[in-house]
Structure 1
């Protein structure tokens, strides 16, 4: 699509959304908070359609299914999914009423079953409390701070964290290279705070007697070997107990919180999926075409760890 066409479409879409906003205010008499929620939820769909280069009036049920699958993929709660779908249906009903469309692509779009269980989400305050309770002076303390900060700031799987290599750290560029499921590699932006915690850990790491074949591993146990998944689970549980956290959490909770906070902050849904390395978008062919600078800007802009105090 040419630049002039993109601008024309953007202006057209803005007018369309303005009309829908007026419809909600005048015809539905929605409260301001409800109106803002509808607008925000619809914005997620618009971002998805724009990224996929799908004109809003050409949206199909299949497109909507892919969008909703993306919401599920990054762990959005079924109740939130149901609310978003409700807003989408309202929008397309408006398009039908206003003679923009003859058929409603959302008519057969179903809401998820509310009973679906997903992992807990931590607030930024709870994550800060978990990290801050760690005593740097204790053995492994700084390492554990660096691990939790990296889990949250980069949205890693625990397997990706414990297998992270020093040779895969590109701190000057602000990235780390991660090997995910199926040995697929991806570049992930890393926050300045996570970099600082890892560098502090390296001042402790140099005093370890590193075991053979583990020289390149970032995170080591006290015997100089790669730390285990179980160890990470255990110390997270201990810190949660120490601050009196009632939620049942695991290393995956940090990854889930990463995605949720980015989405709530306005990050693009597709960019989050790429960051997490999900199968639906992380095929080798697609990955080689990722605009890494754009992904880094998404994370820097929207992740709580990158916002200035």
Structure 2
């Protein structure tokens, strides 16, 4: 509540604490949160590694445990924080998978607009790619936050932070068609009246459902990569940087707290790197 975390973040933190409890149960350790030692937590991390979790997942679990112990310390439930000296695993920075503009065109062309859900699915893809939204931002998008006449939408991102994101002509057109021709015939359930993307039952579409839509469209378009909603966000940012967009503007549109997170997209601009080497390296 104090940090204004989203329900998804709260759920993730809860799962991290549950894993610590599972570790204690599976090793028959009669541990209480206040009796856990640094040695116990190190054994817990080793247990997580043996489960086959990748370094980024290990780091996230560790972050959840550290937050939990900071809370216990703050509430005077413990006097020493056993997680203080725990080291996070080193995480290699992987370059995200992206789609070419041609691939995105193929995916949009694969949508069957004669089916009732066709216009909605087209609007989903156009908004994901056209605005670079996270999947949770898309599922929570509200009609009252659409300013299509001035080509902007208001998005609630991580930590309930709001930002204005420009929306292009194609996405505006797809959204208007979906809202006026399809959504108008769906009766929203109580509390869902303002949600943009609804399923047939009148409730907001789930993240899993969006993954399934994208997976099916990728197969129909003949794209052999494993892609998800975040692939469109990565593609949005990469294509902007390749087109010469200012990195600060891209940071603002993506809702990144730190510019270092946005900087990864400069590594994806291979043509820019190639032309820089050709232009400035003495051997060229």
TM range (shorter): 0.5 to 0.7
Match of residue 229 from structure 2: 251
C-alpha distance in 2 between matches for 1:141 and 1:174? 23
2:134 aligns with one of 148, 157, 168: 157
C-alpha distance in 2 between matches for 1:148 and 1:140? 13
2:178 aligns with one of 192, 201, 213: 201
TM-score (structure 1 length as normaliser): 0.53
C-alpha distance in 2 between matches for 1:248 and 1:169? 31
What stretches of structure 2 of length at least 5 have no aligned partner? 1-89, 260-284
Match of residue 100 from structure 2: 123
What stretches of structure 1 of length at least 5 have no aligned partner? 1-112, 282-309
1:1-309 pair list within 5 angstroms: 116-202=93-179, 203-280=181-258
C-alpha distance in 1 between matches for 2:186 and 2:142? 16
What CA RMSD, in Å, does the superposition of the two structures yield over aligned residues? 1.6
C-alpha distance in 2 between matches for 1:211 and 1:200? 21
Q: What displacement does 1:212 show?
A: 1.2
C-alpha distance in 2 between matches for 1:214 and 1:136? 25
3-state secondary structure, aligned to 1:218: coil
3-state secondary structure, aligned to 2:155: strand
C-alpha distance in 2 between matches for 1:243 and 1:272? 28
C-alpha distance in 2 between matches for 1:137 and 1:116? 42
How many matched pairs? 169
TM-score (structure 2 length as normaliser): 0.58
C-alpha distance in 2 between matches for 1:199 and 1:172? 11
C-alpha distance in 2 between matches for 1:162 and 1:280? 24
C-alpha distance in 1 between matches for 2:188 and 2:252? 34
- State the 4+ residue runs in structure 1 displaced beyond 2 angstroms: 115-119
